[in-house]
Amino acid sequence: MKSVKLIAFDIDGTLTSGSIVLDAEGGEQKQFSVADGLGFRLADSIGIHLAVISARSSKAVKTRMAWLPPENVLLKVGDKAVALRELQNRLGASVDETAFMGDDFNDLPAFEYAGIKIATANAARQVKRLANYITTKPGGDGAAREAIEWLLRGQNRLEEAIEKYLERELSNV
């Protein structure tokens, strides 16, 4: 597996279960996995660029992403393939150095520009068919963490990432 420089994620159905809970005032609530957040920090600790690309936008997503290392939060994106290509050009990442994780039909165009395609356990059949890796966990339940660990393990960098993550966390105490 070639070294990954960029990992991009869909949000709804990938970093969340895909459920949208609306309160009486129409406010949107989403549930995210703490495990996924730690996975983001592992990848970030060894210099991998992280991005989220979503067709939707919500205050819940903006709040959660502000707590995490993705420096590239792209919301209300019509064509995820175009957004991914722009990220690759800006960050100097080739298709082979890019992983994309998604779960549904609107993620398929981005798969064309990802050397490593990852689907969640709850992904649409067409997405799973194209994936290089299908997580055992569904979106919103640690699937992103599982995918990140799989990528890092495949590059023999998981232990390095854990060590650097722990060094960073312990220095902030």
Angle, helices 158-171 vs 143-154, to 10°: value is: 120
Give domain 6-171's CATH architecture: 3-Layer(aba) Sandwich (3.40)
Whether residue 72 contacts residue 63, with contact meaning beta carbons closer than 8 Å, is answered with no
Please report how the helices 34-45 and 158-171 are oriented relative to each other, as an axis angle in degrees rounded to 10. Answer: 100
- How much is the pTM? 0.93
Q: What DSSP designation does 96 have?
A: G
pLDDT in tens, the chain (173 residues): 669 999 999 999 999 998 888 888 888 888 899 999 999 999 999 999 999 999 888 888 888 888 887 788 889 999 999 999 999 999 999 999 999 999 999 999 999 999 999 999 999 999 999 999 999 999 999 999 999 999 999 999 999 999 999 998 888 76
Note whether 116 and 1 are within 8 A (CB).
yes
Rounded CA separation 150/157 (Å):
10
